[in-house]
Amino acid sequence: MHSLSGSAIAGVVAFISCLVFTPLTIKLAHKQGWVVKPRADRWHQKTTALMGGIAIFAAYNIAIFTSGAHANLMFYGISFIMFATGLIDDLWELKPVVKLLTQIACSFVLIYYGFNFGGGLLEWAGIPLTFIWVIGITNAINLLDNMDGLAAGISAIVALTTGTLASLNGDAYLAISGFALGGATIGFLVFNFKPAKIFMGDSGSLFLGCTLAYQSIAVQYKMGSSSAVWVLFVPISLMAIPIMDTTLVTIKRLLAGRRIDQGGRDHTSHRLVALGLSEKQAVLILYGICAAWAVLCLFMYKSHINKLLLCVIIVSVSSVIFSVLLSRVKVYSDSEEKLTHQRLRGQSARPNTALQFLIVQRKLIIGVFIDILIIYISFRFARKALHLRNVHEDVIVGAFICVKILLLYISRLYYRIWRYVQVLEIGAYFISIFLATVILAGILMLKGKFELYSSYFFLVDFLVTSTGIVFSRLFYRWLNDQVSRNRGARKKVMIYGAGDSGYLLIQELLQNHKYELKPVGWVDDDETKHNMYLYGYKIYGGKKDLGAICEKLQPDMILISTKAIKNNEAEIRQMLNGRNISIGWFNLHLSFDMGAPPTTYFQDAHSKYQDPSQQGPLVRG
């Protein structure tokens, strides 16, 4: 194992060097006019220096050449070419095809010298994957540079983790390279964290992306081929945040009819801010997710992947759910959101494609994938908890997965909307898993393998599987609820009437983002409800307390939920006299002909109810 202290010294040298070079670069940038002014599709709000990549590259090189390690000229040449490409792009703006061709050339050099994705495990398949990996990660870091400190901080975490793994593998140059890159980016982060005094530009992001892509492949290559899952898992887990952000942005832009390379405030960090977080909080949350993946990598190096499989699954599933929920945050114009809505439901005029199929069936695909993991974990847990012998486990666990997934599909449980899951549906999950367990017990009995297991095994497996599947649905509903409650909104509203219609109203406000109204609490004249909670919001008091409640919560609007309360509108207006608080109404009207299907009309929260035959579009249920 290469000494961590030697690598750490390189990191310290790079850190100090970047602290020195970055202020000089800022002065040079302002003097030469290398600055970027605020734009509508960018996040910064003041003129900021560019060319921070010069300081990062210079600090990194000083650390490398003063470390005494034998430099890898092949890799140094690649990193220099990517830095120079980015620098030219910052100065004169290269065409995207030129940058792409440069990335392809660098990928070819890595392949030529034997650095293939998969560390040799994938044989010929590793060659195209190497091209995809280098080009994808290089551009992912470039896209990630969308908020102060984000790309630099994520790059620092990944580089330090890669350096630590390389040190544990005994690769001196790779360890020094990782710590040097980590030290340089941390030093740059001092000036790049909000409020940023300098941006790294393409000279920094392309250099960081290419370097991190190489380092992740190199550390993978050094691990050999003893564990295929581990070798393939390392680079993907290290780059989880860039991959997640790029995937989310690419899919959403395609759905919204935007170019993939079009700038905008639609990245993961921007969506977190749209939920009500500050810029610093959004960046720190993404740091935390990246650090969790990094720690998991380090633990897995000292242990077998099977021992940490549950952690891997939890972090993976959580990251997927996190991305799916963030994709629902409104960041585009109304027309783009409408187009996205149509394409997500297969209503686009374009012919169906593989991407369209994956998008339309995303809930089914994600649900099946999550359930397979839960069923597998439940089987392993039940077997180990009861200390049963490992006999024909692969065949039997495959049967468990197939039968349970089939029963869930036949029960149409994959076509339930998770964010509206109800108690009856929870019971349906337990019944389906119970029937699947009975069928599996019968199959094993017919095959003469029932004696290998016990009734307690089937009981534990049933309880863990059903509980895990139900928990995954409820967890999704909870996360979705948190996204809805914490999103940004133009107006805060107090709902008057904590009854059935009020319950429908608050669900409509939280789930339908077009209103841009955020509930803050309830008012109700029933004293038995005071200081209780409905749908997570407190009932503060009744009409006589309305003035004090408004003084405390400062709502922009009072929404009246029932027609009975609406009759007291004049009195309510008098109580709000002198306050800048508007009043809105929510009316529920049921209209049907005898013998014809009933139709329910929901009133838009911004306007009074009109006769259905005379008014415009209605939200129908």
Over the stretch 289-320, which tens digit does the pLDDT of each residue have? Answer: 899 888 888 877 766 555 556 666 667 777 77
Higher-pLDDT residue of 281, 603: 281
**Cβ atoms of 243 and 213 closer than 8 Å:** no
- Which of 423, 449, 484 delimits the end of a domain? 484
Scanning the structure block, which residue is given the tokens 């949350």? 285
474 and 389 in one domain? yes
Mean pLDDT, residues 569-579 taken together: 79
Bond before 598 cis per omega within 30 degrees: no
Spatial contact of 148 and 194, defined as CB atoms under 8 Å apart: yes
Confidence (pLDDT) at 548: 87
Instruction: Check whether residue 202 and residue 89 sit in a common domain.
Output: yes
Out of 101-105, 281-285, 538-542, 572-576, pick the least confident: 572-576
- Residue 550: helix, strand or coil by DSSP? helix
Alpha carbon 547 to chain centroid, angstroms: 41
Task: State which amino acid sits at residue 84.
Answer: A
Most confident of 18-27, 32-41, 491-500: 18-27
**Is 154 a residue whose pLDDT tops 50?**
yes
Q: Are residues 158 and 263 in the same domain?
A: yes
Q: Is residue 335 part of a domain?
A: no
| Pair 116, 235: CB distance under 8 Å | no
> Cα separation of 28 and 198, whole Å?
11
Are 396 and 445 in a shared domain? yes
> Contact at 8 Å (CB) between 199 and 50?
yes
Token couple for 375: 């069923």
- What would the pLDDT profile of 314-353 be if each residue is shown by its tens digit? 677 777 777 877 877 777 766 666 666 565 555 554 444 4
pLDDT digit string, tens, across residues 394-431: 678 888 888 898 888 888 888 777 667 777 778 888 99
pLDDT at 384 exceeding the cut of 90: no
CA atoms of 225 and 150, how far apart (whole Å):
34
More confident site: 434 or 277: 434
> Helix, strand or coil for residue 187?
helix
DSSP type of residue 607: S
pLDDT at 317 (0 to 100)? 72
355 part of a folded domain:
no
Q: Please enumerate in sequence order all residues whose Cβ is within 8 A of that of 527, keeping only pairs 6 or more positions apart, or say none.
A: 542
Residues 6+ apart with CB under 8 A from 207: 53, 56, 57, 79, 82, 83, 86
At what angle are helices 73-92 and 52-66 packed, to 10 degrees? 160
For residues 385 and 496, membership in a common domain is answered with no
**CA-to-CA separations, 315 to 294, 466, 481, 521, in angstroms, rounded:** 11, 20, 20, 34
Residue of 115 and 189 predicted with greater confidence: 189
Output the DSSP codes for 230-282: HHHHHHHHHTHHHHHHHHHHHHHHHHTT--TT---S-SHHHHHHHTT--HHHH
In a domain? residue 343: no
Residues 38 and 158 occupy one common structural domain: yes
Measured between alpha carbons, how far is residue 300 from residues 167, 225, 317 in Å?
Answer: 15, 15, 18
Same domain, 297 and 165: yes
Query: Does the pLDDT at position 92 exceed 80?
Result: yes
Mark which of 329, 352, 387 sits at the end of a domain.
329
Residue 346 lies in a domain: no
From CA 380, how far away is CA 401, in angstroms rounded? 12
Average pLDDT over residues 254-276: 77
With both helix axes pointing from N to C terminus, report the angle between 309-326 and 362-385 in degrees, rounded to the nearest 10.
160
Rounded CA separation 270/505 (Å): 28
What is the mean predicted confidence (pLDDT) over 467-490? 79
Residue 583 sits in a domain whose CATH number is 3.40.50.720
Res. 81: pLDDT tops 70: yes
**Cβ neighbours of 33 (radius 10 Å):** 7
Cα–Cα distance, 102 to 97 (Å, whole number): 9
Position 297 scores a pLDDT of 80
Report d(CA 243, CA 209) in Å as an integer. Answer: 12
Collapsing DSSP states into helix, strand and coil, what is residue 519?
A: strand
Query: Does the residue 348 lie in any domain?
Result: no
The DSSP secondary structure of 296-315, one letter per residue, reads HHHHHHTS-GGGGHHHHHHH
Q: Is the model's pLDDT at 373 over the cut of 90?
A: no
Residue 135 in contact with residue 239, Cβ under 8 Å?
no
In a domain, 340, yes or no: no
CB atoms within 10 A of CB 565: 21
pLDDT of residue 428: 87
Cβ contact 261:96 at 8 Å: yes
Give the residue with greater pLDDT, 44 vs 56: 56
Q: How many domains does the chain have?
A: 3
> Three-state SS for 191?
helix
- For residue 342, is it within any domain? no
Question: Are both 295 and 366 inside the same structural domain?
Answer: no
Query: Do 90 and 192 lie in a common domain?
Result: yes
Residue with token string 């609406």: 566
pTM above 0.85, yes or no: no
Quote the CA–CA distance of 467 and 381 in Å, as a whole number: 13
**Distance of alpha carbon 494 from alpha carbon 546, whole angstroms:** 10
Does residue 202 share a domain with residue 319?
A: yes
26, pLDDT greater than 50: yes
pLDDT band at 265 (very low <50, low <70, confident <90, very high): confident
Average pLDDT of the chain is: 79
Domain assignment of residue 334, yes or no: no
The verdict on 507 and 592 lying in the same domain is yes
Domain encompassing residue 375? 362-484
Q: What is the pLDDT of residue 207?
A: 94
**479 and 502 belong to one structural domain:** no
Give the domain-ending residue among 449, 464, 484.
Answer: 484
Amino acid at 543: K
